Amino acid sequence: MTENNETAATEISQLSYEEARAELVETVRKLDSRDIPLEDALKLWERGQELAAHCQAILASARERVAAKDQSGAGSEPEA
């Protein structure tokens, strides 16, 4: 991995789900415009893949947290 890729990966890891998703939506919009050179399109696609993976990881973590809460509270009565 080059220094630029490491910097980009670190930058993505610092994004919240909402920030990463917004950037991913914008990336897709740019790719759909088809008014960009091939090399730029490839870079955007790679960035989009990294953003999508980051969003998926955040969602997976959230699912695990919800499942853990469900399991830990399954036998207890709700408070009135």
- By the 8 A CB rule, do 42 and 30 touch? no
Total tally of structural domains belonging to the chain: 1
Find the radius of gyration of the CA atoms of the chain: 18
- Domain extent, residue 26, equals 3-69
10-residue mean pLDDT profile of the chain (80 residues): values are 62 95 96 92 96 98 93 64
30 occurs within a structural domain:
yes
Confidence (pLDDT) at 64: 96
Confidence (pLDDT) at 13: 93
Question: Residue 17 maps to which CATH number?
Answer: 1.10.287
80 occurs within a structural domain:
no
Confidence (pLDDT) at 71: 87
Residue 64 has which token pair? Answer: 């695990």
Long-range CB pairs of 45-50 (<8 Å, 24+ gap) are 47/8, 47/23, 48/24, 50/8, 50/9, 50/12
